[in-house]
Structure formats: C-alpha cells, structure tokens
Amino acid sequence: MPEFHFYEPSKGHDLAHDPFKAIVAPRPIGWISTRDVNGRPNLAPYSFFNAVADRPPMVMFSSGGWKDTVSNVSATGEFVCNLVTRALAEKMNLTSAALPHGMNEFEFAGLAAAPSRVVKPPRVADAPAALECRLVQIVRLHTAEGAVLDHHLTIGEVVGVHIDRAYLKDGRFDLLATHPIQRAGYVADYTEAAIGFQMSRPK
C-alpha cells in the first residue's frame, strides 16, 4: 500500500508549496483579448480556463480579483480566447504583467492583432486558433459555507471560430502540430502537449 499525504485545504497543506494546481494540471491557457468601453484592447492569460459545453460551444475562465479582463467583459459582453503555442509562450507570459489599466498588452509584448469577425476585441494574429465569445454569465464564487469570494467565473458562448488553415488536415484541426502549451504544477511550470493517442468509447 502506498502511503498518502492527506490534508484539508482550510487547515493548510504542510508542504513547501501548495500542490493543488499541480494536481489539476496541465490546464489549457485561455489567452483572452477584450476591449474596454473606450475601445482600448487588453490581453491576458487565464489558466483557470476550459470548455464547459459543446452545443453551443461554451468556455469559461475564472478571475482571482476583479481584473481588467473580467471588468471589460462585464462592460462590453465580449471576449476572444486565443490558443497559446510554444512559439508564443514568452509573449503570452509578457501579457500577464500587471500593466496600468488601458495600456495595450499587444504592443507591450510585440504581438500583431487581427480583427475579429463577430465581436469587437481583436484576436492574436499568430495564434493558430481563436474563439470569439459573447458573455453568458459572470458567477461570483463563494465557499461551501457561503462566504463570498473575490473570484469571478466568466462563461461565454463561442460565436466565431478562427483556425489557421495550415493546421487543418483532412477536416481535422491538428492541435499537436501547433505545439500547444499548458499551465502545469507550480508558478513557473508549463507543459507542451506532444503525445497523442486514440481510444474508442465503449459501446
């Protein structure tokens, strides 16, 4: 029998580093572009990010604090999720800098912006895929005991999908060919998805 370390998060973990985000990992990164009410673009990575429905497609991201991204989505009802690849990793990281409100992370990180089709926020031109989204709901999280938290779960419906045709093969998006990266265990850890395999669902 292996021996397990057990802890209850509300009482502390007794480890040098909090393992929670190393267990729920790797996580896809939603690199989220928005515009503020004055039309100024904003771009930031969110790894509390995932797909939550497929018909219609929906995604969510969670903001720890009322950051510019959720504030812009709340005000404008629109955002775009850009796929992060290994080639874009360092620039993605730059866009996580705490810049003053209204400062353009596209320019700060040296990223080209391309227009979206259905929503107003631009997408990252070099991202091989991007999802244009309309806001469905912002849910303020609370604990199991009902204590209200400063965490804001933002759910969007995907209303437009961009795919770089270079990664379309036989009608499928060749995700691994883009070298997508994910957030992994601790604060500086990432993975690059490289190995895929197939398995059919039981009948």
Ligand X SMILES: Cc1cc2nc3c(=O)[nH]c(=O)nc-3n(C[C@H](O)[C@H](O)[C@H](O)COP(=O)(O)O)c2cc1C
* Residue of 33, 46, 73, 130 that binds ligand X (CB under 6 A): 46
> What SS3 class is residue 186?
coil
| Residue 76 is a binding residue for ligand X (CB under 6 A) | no
Judged by CB under 6 A, which stretch of 56-64, 160-168, 170-178, 191-199 contacts ligand X? 56-64
Cβ atoms of 140 and 147 within 8 Å: the answer is: no
What radius of gyration, in Å, describes the C-alpha atoms of the chain? Answer: 18
Of 93 and 191, the one with the shorter C-beta distance to ligand X is 93
User: Taking CB under 6 A as the rule, which mask of x and - marks residues 154-183 in contact with ligand X?
Assistant: -----------------------------x
Q: By CB under 6 A, is residue 130 in contact with ligand X?
A: no
Q: What are the residues facing 33 on neighbouring strands?
A: 43, 80
42 contributes a contact to ligand X by CB under 6 A? yes
CB of 64 to ligand X, least distance (A): 4
Peptide bond into 56 cis (omega under 30): yes
CB of 136 to ligand X, least distance (A): 18
Q: What order of strands is seen across the sheet that includes strand 129-142? A: 41-46, 30-35, 78-82, 129-142, 148-163, 57-64, 49-54
* CA distances to 76, 111, 112 from 108, in Å: 23, 8, 11
| 37 neighbors 83 (Cβ within 8 angstroms) | no
Nearer to ligand X, 69 or 76 (CB): 69
Binding-site residue total for ligand X (CB under 6 A)?
17
Binder of ligand X out of 21, 26, 28, 29 (CB under 6 A): 29
Residues at the interface with ligand X (CB under 6 A): 29, 42, 44-48, 62-64, 67-69, 93, 96, 98, 183
